[in-house]
Amino acid sequence: MGYRSLKRDRRESEWVHANITPMLNLMVILIPLLLNSAEFVRLGIIELNLPPAAVSANGQMLAELPQEEIVHLDLTVTITDRGFFISSSLAVLGGEKEGEPSISKVNGEYDFNMLSMQLYQIKQKAGYRFPDTDRIILMAEPEIDYQTVISTMDAARSLYYNGEMIELFPEVSISGGVL
């Protein structure tokens, strides 16, 4: 009878489990695959901006330049073991005392936030009066370690303020300095 058989079907299905074995097989394949291609350490690169090719003092390029000399900002940050010195073609940013770095170390640590803030102010003041307001030159003493150089580059590239990123001097060049 139709009615009876329907009732029996329902009672049997009460205890039927979903067959998850194929899905499990899929997982067993997928997880090693994804684990294999997973990137646990995120690597990045810092592209170095080499200064544009130098033109010889009496080269042809010079003839095309306007008569008045273009003043470059040539902003330079020098890392020393006492702190940062900030200088440009026009002036050197003085520290608290004569001969002190522009931004001294705080408790033996470099003050990268202060450096960003100072550079931000310089950027504001410089405006677009100079042709190279995106460029900054980095110099360091021979014993400064690599991580400090990289952190200084970060500080010079952009300022993180209240969770916002403000671009400062994205074209960082490295200078050989004095060996």
Partner 1 sequence: MAFIPSHKKRPRENPGQARLQLTSMMDMFTIILVFLLKIYSTHGQLINPSEDLTLPSSKVQQLPELGLDVTVSSDWILVNGKPVEQTQNIIEQEGYIIPRLQEELLRYSTEAEKMEILYGAEFSGKATIQGDKHLPYRLLIKVMATCGQSNFPNMRLVVYREE
Residues lying near partner 1 in the complex (CB under 8 A): 15, 17, 20-21, 23-24, 27, 30-31, 34-35, 37-48, 50, 79, 140-147, 149-151, 153-154, 157-158, 160, 174, 176-177, 179
State which residue, 44 or 99, has the beta carbon closest to partner 1: 44
For residue 152, give every residue at least 6 positions away whose Cβ sits within 8 Å of its Cβ, in sequence order, or none: 77, 79, 84, 110, 112, 115, 138, 140
Q: Least CB distance from residue 169 to partner 1, whole Å?
A: 14
State which residue, 104 or 158, has the beta carbon closest to partner 1: 158
State which residue, 25 or 89, has the beta carbon closest to partner 1: 25
CA 14 to centroid of chain Cα atoms: 60
Q: Least CB distance from residue 96 to partner 1, whole Å?
A: 26
Q: Least CB distance from residue 48 to partner 1, whole Å?
A: 5
Q: Give the pair of three-digit tokens for residue 146.
A: 């690599």
Q: Least CB distance from residue 140 to partner 1, whole Å?
A: 4
State which residue, 79 or 122, has the beta carbon closest to partner 1: 79
Q: Give the pair of three-digit tokens for residue 82.
A: 């006492």
State which residue, 30 or 90, has the beta carbon closest to partner 1: 30
**Half-sphere exposure of residue 65, counting CA atoms within 13 Å on the CB side?**
12
For residue 143, give every residue at least 6 positions away whose Cβ sits within 8 Å of its Cβ, in sequence order, or none: 81
Q: What is the dihedral of CA 128, 94, 137, 160, to 10 degrees?
A: -70
Q: Least CB distance from residue 52 to partner 1, whole Å?
A: 12
Report the distance separating Cα 176 and Cα 179, nearest Å. 8
